[in-house]
Each structure stands twice: as C-alpha cells, then as structure tokens.
C-alpha cells in the first residue's frame, strides 16, 4: 500500500481535492502538530470534512514511532498530514528518506506554504533571498546568525521572510530531569518579540529602527492582518493571535511593491484580503 | 459582490476545497492561460469538476479587458483562476491593485506554487536565494542578468530556482506589422535549452559544466521527472513534455540534501514521487 504525506495548507479548508480523495482511502490518518498549527479550523472540523478520525501526533511520536507507521503502510494506506507544505521542515524530508530507503511507496501531495503565500504582501517572490528563522532568546542563548543572513539579503537588495519560533510541548529543565511528563503551555513568537530581539542584536542604518518591514498574522485566514511600516513602528502594533511572520524589505522597492506597501501602511486599513 | 482571484496549484486536482466552494457561487469563471499551463487536466476536466463553463483568457484579454471584469464583479461574483499561486506573476499583483483602488472587493485564494513545491528536490527551502527567470535567447537579445543573480546566490551558499521561459500566443514581427492575427505555436523552454544558454554565457569553476543541479519536469503531476547531476550531465537528458524547471545547487549541500541528490542522480530511478 502507500504512505501519503499530505500538505494541508494554511487553513482547514485549503486541503486539495486530490488530497481529500486520497484520505477517503486511508485506514489511519495522522496530523503532525508541532512544526505549525492549523488556523480557522480544529481537528473536529477536519474530521467531519474527511469523515474519519484524525490522530494528532507530536514530535516524539513522529520521530520515534515512525517505523511503526512505515510498517503499517505495507498493509494499509496511511496518511500523515502536515500543516503548510510537506517538505518545508527538515523533519519531513528525513522521514521521507527513511521510508524510501526501506522500499516503502511514499507519495507526496503538496499544498500552500507561507513561502509562496507571503506574496500577498505585494513583494515579488523572485526578490526574496534566503529565509531565516528567529528563535526565542533564552537568558544564555541568543543566536545571531539570522541577522547575518538578513544583512546578506539586504546587500543584494532582496527581501527576507522571517519565520517566527513555535514552542510546543516543551518541558522545563526541572520536569525533564525528574521525568515528569508535564509540558509548558505552547508559545508562538509575536512580531513584536521578533522585532525586539532583532533590534537588540543590531540597530544601524543597514538594519535597524528605520528599516521597512511588513508584519503578517494568520496568513490566509479570515482574520488575516497585514501591516507595513518601519521596524520601530511595527514593534508596538498588536497583531493578535498566532501565527505571525515578518518580512524585512529589500532596501529598494519596485513601483508595484511600493504601492502595496502604502496600501498596508494604514494600520486601520480594513481591506479584507 | 466579490472578485475572487483563485490559485489552481500545479495540476487539475490541486484546487482547494475553499476554492471549489467559492466557484459554485460565481457567475463567470475565467482561466488565465499565459503565465503558466495546466498539466494533468484540460479545461473540460476542470469544468466537470466545477459544473460550470470556464472561459480561457489570454494576456490581451486579462490586461485590456480587466476593467469590464471589474465592472461585472460589482453585480456578480466573478472568479479569475490562475495556475500556481495568485501573486507569483507581476501581472496579477497589478490587476489586484487596480481593483482595490476602485473599491472593488477582491479576495485571494492561495494555492501551491513551484516556489514551495520545489522542496520535493530535498533541497531545503530556507536555503534558496533569489529566483531567476531564464528567457529564450534571440539572435540579437541575450540578457545576462540571470547569471549574475545565480552567482550572487552561489557566493552566499544558496540554491537558485530557475523558472524557464514560456511563449504563448506570440506573433512573428511580420504578422505583427501586417496586423495578421496569426500566432506561433507555444514554446516552453526545456531544461536542455536553459543549460545550453547558461553555459554559453559562463563556464567557470564557480558556475559551469561541473556545477551540481537538479532538473524538474511536470512537478506535482503523475509523470513528474526529477534528475540530479552536473549541468553537463543534465544538458543531454530528455525530460519529456513541459513544464520544466531547473535548480542550481548551492556549492555545499547539507547531509540530507546530499542524500536526496544521490536519490535523484540515477536517471533510471523509478521511484514515483
């Protein structure tokens, strides 16, 4: 039989017709819930759409129990659902390779990712440089490599998509050492925190308070919010519930990009995108 | 009422549930057919899926008659379908702005784009630099800027996605001058032509015969073909029918990326992705 790895896109109704047809023929359906979250929809909604039970699985399950999923897929059609597109996170490319090496037939069903949908900002996709991830700073751990990458992009006049950290099912050091299966509440980095952290590391004419940026919250959902401005301006804007992302603009915007930037500049702009 | 601009994704069954529901409430449905083509499906298939007539429109129609579409959408729900995602081409961002400025409610429904689905190569999306387009060379027109951009990406150890030219409904200069509405057959650039043109402009240790690359044909379809190798090796491989794309690899591949590269290296590899 086949193991299908199926992208769900950004919201609960982004699933493709192709993906939906496949799910009708799958015995077990798993939903990976730690590299992203589903907006606009909960598991119940997804289940009623599919007409089957969806088993939500965490990082531990996917990484450690993947062998049993592979074995199961020898006898049954199995689906692993991923929010966004399938190969956006390294974890899933790794799983894919493990399966292929064992000779298991695996098929991929793509879907939207923030990596293309970010074009709703009006910034041209071909002008995006390398993507960066901004991790939550810890007292003793403040990585700086994302700043270097943003500056590399700025130097070649490219935009940077910044993906913001998600902490799901994290344990405190104390609980981890005691072996307590108690997890901290999930944390999703806000645009405000991302900017605060960034400006803590650098604040120059190249990348600092006055750099133009666009904040994007809940992309693709009905409550999507997009605001453009300087980093300083965006730092204090309330973007609401997760997920948030941030784009650092290239130093020079094209005409069309500038027009979009103006469109999103008015915080109270009520255009429904 | 609303003008919906809806991404169709890469194949005829990539349309999302959300998109499909919206189409059921649209009076007129247009399919833009000049920035990309639909694979695995023709208009008939799409129409039977939707249960309505789909009007295929060319560049002239979309750019010149857009005002009438906008006017129509004041009274009726109208949909403009785009292969891939909505804002991948500058044309559509322009149309969007024109509508918004006139106060027309426009809603976007995203879908897969080659820009995220290219991750099926196993190359990590966050390591892609700016995207380039490789245009068909003419006798008197051989633009070189795409080579400069690829080299910029190579210098910061990033991959480059190269989108290959599409010529649809082109007229010869003679027919254009005579006002004959006779169009040339459509031309879709092959991976082979792209590499030949690239190596004509540059062939050094930085970017040349021995540079690693991955050719991708008919991405997301059942006949998808992916082969990795040096540019020299890929130049003579038959990738079959359009659409083709080419990725120039970063100088250093990560371990997982190398494993995928090896997987795709065997031309006769019959893994069904």
* Dihedral, CA of residue B76, residue A123, residue A116 and residue A134, to nearest 10: -130
d(CA B117, CA B111): 11
- What's phi and psi for B108, nearest 5 deg? -110, 135
User: What's the burial of A215, exposed, middle or buried (CB within 10 Å: 0-12/13-18/19+)?
Assistant: buried
Tell me, yes or no, if A220 comes closer than 8 A to chain B by beta carbon.
yes
- On whether both B20 and B138 belong to a single domain, the answer is no
For residue B214, pLDDT beyond 50: yes
Which residues of chain B are within 8 Å of residue A110 when distances are taken between CB atoms? 9-10, 14, 112, 116-117, 120, 220
Q: Write out chain A's pLDDT in tens, 273 residues.
A: 999 999 999 888 899 999 999 999 999 999 987 777 775 556 777 788 888 999 888 877 887 888 889 999 999 999 999 989 998 777 788 889 989 888 999 999 999 999 999 999 999 999 999 999 999 999 899 999 999 999 999 999 999 999 999 988 788 888 888 888 888 888 999 999 999 999 999 999 999 999 999 999 999 888 999 999 999 999 999 999 999 999 999 999 999 999 999 999 975 444 444
- Within-domain flag for A8: yes
Question: How big is chain A, counted in residues?
Answer: 273
Q: What is the pLDDT of residues B246-263, one digit of tens each?
A: 999 999 999 999 999 999
- On whether both A10 and A39 belong to a single domain, the answer is yes
d(CA A165, CA A163): 7
Q: Residue A4 forms beta bridges with which residues?
A: A79, A107
Rounded to the nearest 5 degrees, what angle is found at the Cα of B130, between the Cα atoms of B211 and B212?
A: 10
- On whether both A88 and A141 belong to a single domain, the answer is no
Which positions 81-110 of B are in contact with A (Cβ < 8 Å)?
85-88, 90, 93-94, 97, 100, 105, 107-108, 110
Q: What is the pLDDT of residues B126-152, one digit of tens each?
A: 999 999 999 999 989 999 999 999 999
> Hey, which bits of chain A come out as E strands?
3-7, 28-32, 55-57, 78-82, 106-109, 132-134, 160-164, 166-167, 187-188, 212-217, 225-230, 244-248
Give me the pLDDT at residue A264, please: 94
Radius of gyration of chain B (CA): 20
Q: What is the pLDDT of residues A51-92, one digit of tens each?
A: 899 988 887 788 788 888 999 999 999 999 998 999 877 778
Q: Which domain does B157 fall in, by range?
A: 115-264
Among candidate residues B93, B112, B131, the one where a domain is terminated:
B112
Residue of A244, A257, A252 whose CA lies nearest to A217: A244
- Within-domain flag for B21: yes
Residue of B221, B252, B224, B253 whose CA lies nearest to B239: B224
SS (H, E, C) B18-59: HHHHHHHCCCEEEEECCCCCCECCCHHHHHHHHCCCCEEECH
d(CA A197, CA B196): 46
Q: Chain A residue with minimal CA distance to B159? A: A130
Q: What is the pLDDT of residues A9-44, one digit of tens each?
A: 988 889 999 999 999 999 999 998 777 777 555 677
- On whether both A84 and A151 belong to a single domain, the answer is no
Q: Grade residue B42 by pLDDT with cuts at 50, 70 and 90.
A: low
- On whether both B149 and B247 belong to a single domain, the answer is yes
What are the Cα distances from residue B54, in Å, to A195, B34, B48?
45, 15, 10
- Within-domain flag for A237: yes
- On whether both A241 and A120 belong to a single domain, the answer is yes
Provide CB contacts within 8 A for A115, sequence distance 6+.
A85, A88, A131, A161, B115, B116, B125
Among candidate residues B80, B112, B144, the one where a domain is terminated:
B112
- On whether both A233 and A136 belong to a single domain, the answer is yes
Q: Which of A7, A11, A16 sits opposite B13 (nearest CB)?
A: A16
Q: Which of A120, A124, A272 sits opposite B90 (nearest CB)?
A: A124
- Within-domain flag for A42: yes
Tell me the CATH number at B54. Answer: 3.40.1010.10
Q: Do B110 and A117 touch (CB under 8 A)?
A: yes
- On whether both B51 and B145 belong to a single domain, the answer is no
Express the helix, strand and coil content of chain A in percent, nearest 5 each. 35, 20, 40
Work out the minimum CA distance from B55 to partner chain A, whole angstroms: 21
- Within-domain flag for A151: yes
For residue B16, pLDDT beyond 70: yes
Q: Do residues A214 and A200 lie in contact, with contact meaning Cβ atoms separated by under 8 Å?
A: no
- Within-domain flag for A228: yes
Among candidate residues A74, A94, A112, the one where a domain is terminated:
A112
d(CA B219, CA B242): 10
Interchain CB contacts (distance < 8 Å): A and B = 169
Element of type H or E holding B155: helix B145-155
Tell me the CATH number at B246. Answer: 3.30.950.10
Q: Do B108 and A11 touch (CB under 8 A)?
A: no
- Within-domain flag for B248: yes
Q: What is the pLDDT of residues B69-110, one digit of tens each?
A: 999 999 999 999 998 999 877 778 888 998 988 899 999 999
Residue of B112, B120, B69 whose CA lies nearest to B88: B112
The neighbour count for residue B60, using CB atoms within 10 Å, is 10
- On whether both A122 and A219 belong to a single domain, the answer is yes
- Within-domain flag for B271: no
Which positions 51-80 of A are in contact with B (Cβ < 8 Å)?
none
């Amino acid at each position: 039989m086949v193991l299908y790895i199926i992208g769900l896109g950004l919201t609960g109704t982004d699933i493709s017709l192709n993906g939906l047809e496949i799910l009708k023929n799958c015995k077990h359906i798993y939903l990976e819930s730690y590299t992203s979250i589903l907006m606009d929809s909960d598991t119940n909604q997804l289940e009623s759409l599919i007409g089957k039970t969806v088993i939500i699985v965490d990082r531990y399950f996917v990484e450690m129990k993947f062998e049993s999923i592979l074995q199961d897929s020898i006898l049954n059609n199995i689906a692993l659902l991923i929010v966004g597109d399938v190969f956006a996170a390294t974890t899933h490319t790794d799983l894919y390779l493990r399966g292929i090496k064992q000779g298991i037939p695996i098929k991929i069903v793509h879907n939207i990712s923030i990596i293309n949908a970010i074009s709703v900002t009006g910034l041209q996709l071909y002008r995006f440089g390398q993507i960066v991830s901004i991790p939550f700073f810890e007292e003793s751990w403040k990585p700086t490599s994302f700043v270097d990458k943003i500056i590399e992009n700025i130097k070649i006049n490219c935009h940077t998509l910044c993906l913001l950290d998600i902490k799901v099912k994290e344990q405190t050091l104390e609980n981890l050492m005691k072996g307590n299966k108690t997890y901290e509440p999930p944390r999703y980095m806000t645009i405000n925190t991302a900017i605060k952290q960034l400006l803590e590391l650098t604040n120059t004419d190249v990348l600092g308070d006055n750099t133009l940026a666009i904040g994007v919250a809940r992309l693709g959902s009905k409550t999507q919010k997009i605001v453009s401005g300087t980093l300083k301006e965006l730092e204090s804007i309330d973007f609401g519930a997760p997920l948030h992302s941030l784009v650092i603009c290239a130093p020079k915007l094209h005409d069309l990009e500038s027009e979009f930037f103006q469109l999103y500049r008015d915080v109270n702009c009520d255009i429904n995108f």
